[in-house]
Amino acid sequence: MADEDFVPHELLADFKRRMKIFHKSEDEELSRSLTASQARIKQLTNCEDLTEPLIAELIMERSRYAYNDQLEFFEQNFLSDLLAASLQHYEPSDGGDDDGGTTPVPV
């Protein structure tokens, strides 16, 4: 039951090649998994630029873990890569306080 409006994820062909998946019957589900992984990697690293090799790698690795029903182990196993990508895309805020940062912190 293929959706006529289905647009494959940009990394779908690379992911299928890596996973040695040669049929098209799972393309929609794989694309959804890649999209969810891209959103989670963006949330963790503040980046979703697929042209960056580390980001694309993290998206595909998270999707691989999801495909193999092992998603709960992804963040633990890729913590150093996630941290590196996060630090690379870190953008310090200006504080955002209207009172110059003098708001007391509740104890």
Annotate 23-53 with DSSP letters as a single string: -STTHHHHHHHHHHHHHHHHHHHS---TTSH
Range of the domain at 35: 12-88
Position 32 in a domain: yes
59/34 Cα distance (integer angstroms) = 7
Helix (H, G, I), strand (E, B) or coil at 83: helix
Q: What is the pLDDT of residues 30-73, one digit of tens each?
A: 999 999 999 999 999 999 899 999 999 999 999 999 999 999 99
pTM flag (> 0.85):
no
Residue 30 lies in a domain: yes
Q: Are 28 and 37 in contact (CB under 8 A)?
A: no
Q: Could you give the angle at the alpha carbon of 102 between the alpha carbons of 97 and 106, nearest 5°?
A: 95
pLDDT in tens, 87-107: 988 888 776 555 555 555 454
pLDDT tens-digit readout, 1-41? 455 789 999 999 999 999 999 999 999 999 999 999 999 99
Helical spans, DSSP H, in the chain: 12-19, 27-45, 53-67, 74-77, 79-88
Residue 102 lies in a domain: no
Q: Indicate the number of domains in the chain.
A: 1
Task: Please give the pLDDT value at position 107.
Answer: 47
Residue at 93 is within a domain: no
